[in-house]
Amino acid sequence: MSNRIPFPPEFSADDLQVGDIILTSAATIGSVVIQLGSAGTVSHAVLYAGGGIIIEAMPGDAGVREYPLDQMLAGSEKAIVLRRVGLTPSQGLAVVERARSYVGRGYDMLGAVASVAYQIDRFILCPIQPWIDDCNAWAQSNSAWAFDPEGFFCSELVAKAFEEIGMPLTDSPSTGVSPATLMRLASTDKLEYLGMLKRSPVYEMPLMP
């Protein structure tokens, strides 16, 4: 019996709602490195702001910016849509406004790398070190030095915006949330999987453990 299930038919951009989360990957070295480092199948996370616009954090001079959805999709190999469970239209607007308030901030490259280290510390190293009383705090302290309080990496921006409207996506700090973290939350009580805006020729979603 296969341990993978095919994604259902693609999700139309017309069905997107303000506040939806889109996870993507691309056929680039950077994307592959992020996927390998986080043991995931996605490498980027953005927030849908409505009107064919997304809000994202990108490396280099771009930083946190608003960007056309169609251009983002053109550079992506696949694009997966998630929605925060219980999100109302007014909350969707609120989370977008929080993300928009950070437009113009820089990209936190070191923080993006440290977020992967946080995941390794918390979910791989902590379980084999039973003398650690508070695993989450220990993992946070190991990588806290790396984060830029003024900048964001992609999934941190998304998680921070939801955290600030009182609808956190995970019990991890926003600085410890990778795109793969969000993918693993699909079809849980936090995030609902809706479909694919774009799919690679052969792509299947792993079953949740």
pLDDT of residue 117 exceeding 50: yes
Residue 3, classified by CB atoms within 10 Å of its CB into exposed (0-12), middle (13-18) or buried (19+), is exposed
Average pLDDT over residues 198-203: 63
Q: Is this model's pTM higher than 0.85 or not?
A: no
CB 82 within 8 A of CB 194: yes
Q: How confident is the model at residue 135 (pLDDT cuts 50, 70, 90)?
A: low
CB 79 within 8 A of CB 7: no
Q: For the structural domain made of 17-201, what CATH number should be given?
A: 3.90.1720.10
Residue 196, both tokens: 């694919």
Average pLDDT over residues 198-202: 66
Ranges of each domain in the chain: 17-201
Q: Given this model, what pLDDT does residue 40 score?
A: 53
- Higher-pLDDT residue of 38 and 63 is 63
Average pLDDT over residues 147-156: 82
CB 198 within 8 A of CB 79: yes
Average pLDDT over residues 57-74: 93
